[in-house]
Amino acid sequence: MSHELRSDELSAYLDGELDGKRRQAVESHLEACSACRTTLSEFQRQSASLKNTKGSYLAESFVMRVRARIRSGSDEQVSWIPAERLARRTVFALAIVVAVAVGSFWEQSEPASGIVEGYYQVAQQDSVLNRLLNAETAPTKEDLLLAVMAK
């Protein structure tokens, strides 16, 4: 469609969605334009075909099956979780577990490193081993035993 006619006007014309003035404009254009007449006739054919696909798919007994599901469905409704929601919930739960695990590890690792540092400080200043290594006299059996126990 060249032209003075907007591309979606034919479709709206087919649906009866144009006001009087625009409808008249489309009709006069159609008289002069065979391409638009062809397009309109293809749209009409397509519309008829589509309407034809709307058949009777579900029998009357469908109503009873819906009714049966409503009666027994409240438990089913509660337990039924769509796959996507389940996936989201799983990811969310995992994220919380990881966050909690990282948090608790962090909490534990802080004082642990403090203890180690403290140990080395004490060991350098006051440990039996240190005293043993710095001793000027030869260590006795008791000194060695104390060093092993302290270690």
Q: Does 78 bind other proteins (CB under 8 A)?
A: no
Alpha-carbon gap, residue 95 to 98, rounded angstroms: 5
Least Å distance, CB 82 to other proteins, is: 6
Task: Give the DSSP per-residue string, 21-54.
Answer: HHHHHHHHHHHH-HHHHHHHHHHHHHHHHHHHT-
Return the sign of the alpha-carbon dihedral for residues 25, 27, 32, 35.
positive
Please count the residues of this chain forming the interface with other proteins, following the rule CB under 8 A. Answer: 38
Residues 5-34 that bind other proteins (CB under 8 A): 7-8, 10-12, 15, 17
Nearer to other proteins, 6 or 140 (CB): 6
Dihedral Cα 113, 117, 120, 121, nearest 10 deg: -160
Nearer to other proteins, 17 or 27 (CB): 17
Let me know: does 36 contact 29? Beta carbons within 8 Å. Answer: yes
Least Å distance, CB 70 to other proteins, is: 5
Q: Which of 24, 27, 62, 100 binds other proteins (CB under 8 A)?
A: 62
Least Å distance, CB 151 to other proteins, is: 54
Q: Which of 24, 28, 77, 104 binds other proteins (CB under 8 A)?
A: 77
Cα 74 to Cα 8, 83, 85, distances in angstroms: 47, 19, 19
Residue linked to tokens 């994220």:
95
Residue 86 is which amino acid? L
- Binding residues for other proteins, rule: CB under 8 A, are 7-8, 10-12, 15, 17, 39, 42-43, 45-47, 49-60, 62-63, 65-67, 69-70, 73, 77, 82-84, 87
